[in-house]
Amino acid sequence: MRHLLTLDGLPRAALVHLLDRAQHYADHAGDPRTLEGFAVCTLFFEPSTRTRMSFQLAAQRLGAHVLNFDVSTSSARKGETALDTLRNLEAMGVRGFVVRHQDDGAVAMLADAAQPGTVLINAGDGRSAHPTQGLLDMLTLRQAKGDRFGSLKVAIVGDVRHSRVARSDLHALRVLGVGDIRVCGPAPLLPDAATLTGCHVTQDLDEALDGVDAVMMLRLQRERMEEGLVDSLEAYHRGYGLTRQRLSCAAPDAVVLHPGPMNRGVEITDEVADGPQSLILRQVANGVSMRMAVLQTLLSPDP
């Protein structure tokens, strides 16, 4: 594995290796500083709080120099392309690039053009993939439920069609052998059949939640209302908002995940987001450990 562009096709052993390494970092305090001398750039063409900050913290804990590319003050504003930006940073000796871009396939395109020895990590491209979010979600699930992925029942709820998080989660859940994957949302927000391979698909939230061990909520992208795919935020909340009452359809020890940022009161209520079954801040904490594992594995692989 030279780059991390998607979880699609990632062998189970590679995924489990990353989970184990991230768990090691989560369990052991102290900064290993194994990437001293490396330079890593967070190259984000779209906004981010969690992904960018956790990658920066992860790279710092591994001892790397961290450069933060700010698109608003960069020469991208003068029309410089992403590829020229990459080439110039490579010329400065930057070895690792964590890239977020609005276009599907943009990170893969940059990876194809990169110098040998350059490593690219997809931090979210278009609707395609957000692999480190998928990985940290699996780490969070494994901490809560153990290794019994085969017997887990998991529901993914919301705007699946436009969600790169959902696609990466679905790839990871399948690789880990989760036997019962349910996908739920209003018809205009459901993806194509290929994305849904092997999933039970429903537009009924109570059916989706019935007896599940984990609920993975997705952010409603508000521009979907402007596109006419959702009638109103209130109607969406009535149909697909996770309330404490609706969560009672799930298993009593079910856990709730959300990648953030949350629309509180739309796809999830405060009492669920901040309640005892919520692992949302655990996901954020795991983001640092998981991104350390990814940076370490790609930039300084074990012999």
- Where on the chain is the footprint of ligand CP (CB under 6 A)? 48-51, 124, 133, 259-261
Residues 6+ apart with CB under 8 A from 303: none
- What's the min distance (Å) between Cβ of 186 and ligand CP? 22
Q: Which is nearer to ligand CP, 48 or 203 (CB)?
A: 48
**Strand arrangement, sheet containing 96-101:** 65-70, 39-44, 96-101, 119-125
Residue 87, strand partner residues: none
Instruction: Return the number of the residue (51 or 128) whose C-beta is nearest ligand CP.
Output: 51
Asked if 149 contacts 176 with a C-beta cutoff of 8 angstroms, the reply is yes
Specify the residue, 124 or 158, whose C-beta has the smaller distance to ligand CP: 124
Tokens of 239: 């149909």
Q: Which is nearer to ligand CP, 11 or 261 (CB)?
A: 261
CB of 250 to ligand CP, least distance (A): 22
Contacts of 54 (CB under 8 A, 6+ apart): 284, 287, 288, 291
Cα-based angle 26, 129, 51 (whole degrees, multiple of 5):
40
CB of 121 to ligand CP, least distance (A): 13
Nearer to ligand CP by C-beta: 124 or 186?
Answer: 124
Can you tell me the distance from the alpha carbon of 221 to that of 136, in angstroms, rounded to the nearest whole number? 21
Find the shortest distance in angstroms from Cβ 48 to ligand CP. Answer: 3
- Rounded to a whole number of angstroms, the minimum distance from the CB of residue 22 to ligand CP is 16
Asked if 122 contacts 101 with a C-beta cutoff of 8 angstroms, the reply is no
Cα 108 to chain centroid distance, Å, stands at 17
Of residues 153 and 256, the one with the C-beta less far from ligand CP: 256
Task: Provide, rounded to whole angstroms, the least separation between the CB of residue 50 and ligand CP.
Answer: 4
